Structure formats: structure tokens, C-alpha cells
Amino acid sequence: MMTLLFARHGETADNTNRVFQGQRGGGLSPRGRTQAQRLAARMRTASLDAIVASDLERAAETARIIGAATKLVPAFDRDLREIDVGAWSGKSYEEIKKMFPDEWAAWSAGQDIARGGGETYAAIAERVARAVSRIIASHENERVLVVSHGGAVRSYIAKILGVLGAQGMRALSGLGNASLTVIEIESERAVLRAWNDTAHLEGMSVDDRAD
């Protein structure tokens, strides 16, 4: 049996300011580094065999903090990047509502559109699935921490649960910064064991808004 532990990166200034990062954005905020350190402390006893992460700065920084605590050197995979939101990147919620009212209305209604000319959730789910397939092939029957992004992980989990679509995606809550989501894979069957686990962040408020 293989276990994949999906972690969302720690908080960034853009998360706090409600700015869509997509495939842009910087590293962790001081609070985000604290969250990553809390997650790293938990991972010391998780018997990890490997860490694979998105190469975007916020995920890479989170992975390196955990790697230092677990004595594992993270590998990086571009297919684990966050959803590309195109022209929405770097803009606040309020700016997007004004600049792209039709797209905002469609997305808010649950439609899977390519926001800002970027990707759909269906497209990112396939991209993340490619990365997961490579991880499974390289780490059979191991425990691997996958450090990625809220939209990326949520889309992939929706895909394996068979609920990837307008209403299915809305049935899944967002993922908090530095949260854990766990699946077990045996004989090509994936079982969701934990969703948005933030027990290691006790005492810290958790933001699960979109990346």
C-alpha cells in the first residue's frame, strides 16, 4: 500500500490580502513559515520516504522547511503547480469583480471556466494526475509528502472521487494553508483517509480561500 500526504503550502502575503496568485506570487509570510514549521514538526514522526513539491516559491519553501526537519531533500515537479488563472494573477478579489464581471459571475456560480485565459479545474486535475502517476511509479509502497496548492490538490481529489465538475467541486471545502489531505493507494484503488487536517495548527486561524 502507498500513502500520499498532500500538504498545501503555508500562508503568503497574497493569501492574507485576498490576491489570486495562480502560478505567480512569492514566498511565505512570517505566519506561513510558522505554519510550515508546525507541519514539519508533525512530519518528523510520519515515517516519510520522500517529499515531492511544486516548484513555485511558496510550495518549495514549505517543502524545504519540512525537508530540514525530516532529513529529506525535496524533489520538484512543475505539474504540481497551482492552477493557472491567467490575467487574474496578482489581482485582488475586488479588482477581478470589476475587471472580469462575467468570468467572476460564472466562476462564482460554480462553472469550470479558464479564468483569465488560464486553466480549467479539469485541466489542472489531469496535470496533477500526471505528477502523481510519476510519484507512484518511483515510490511504490512508500509514504510520500506532496507539497502543492489548494486548487491543485482539491481538483485532483475531486477527480479521483469522481466529483470533478461544477457542483462536485463546490461540495468539497477549501484547503487551509499547511493542511494535510491523505489518500492510500492499493491495487490502483485510491481511498481518501483525511481531508484538510489542521490538527498541527491548533490555536492558529486557518484560511481556506482560493490560491
For residue 9, give Cα distances in angstroms to 97, 116, 173: 26, 23, 16
82 is catalytic: yes
Q: Which of 25, 146, 141, 138 is nearest to 76 (CA)?
A: 146
Helix (H) or strand (E) segment spanning residue 39: helix 30-43
For residue 13, give Cα distances in angstroms to 49, 60, 113, 186, 201: 31, 16, 26, 39, 18
Other C-beta atoms closer than 10 Å to the C-beta of 38 total: 20
Distance between CA atoms of residues 31 and 160, nearest Å: 32
Q: Which of 80, 72, 174 is nearest to 127 (CA)?
A: 80
150 HSE (CA, 13 A, CB side)? 23
DSSP for residue 178 = T
Q: Annotated catalytic residue: which of 9, 61, 103, 119? A: 9
Q: Annotated catalytic residue: which of 82, 103, 119, 149? A: 82
8: its cell numbers: 498545501
Indicate which residues carry an active-site annotation: 9, 82
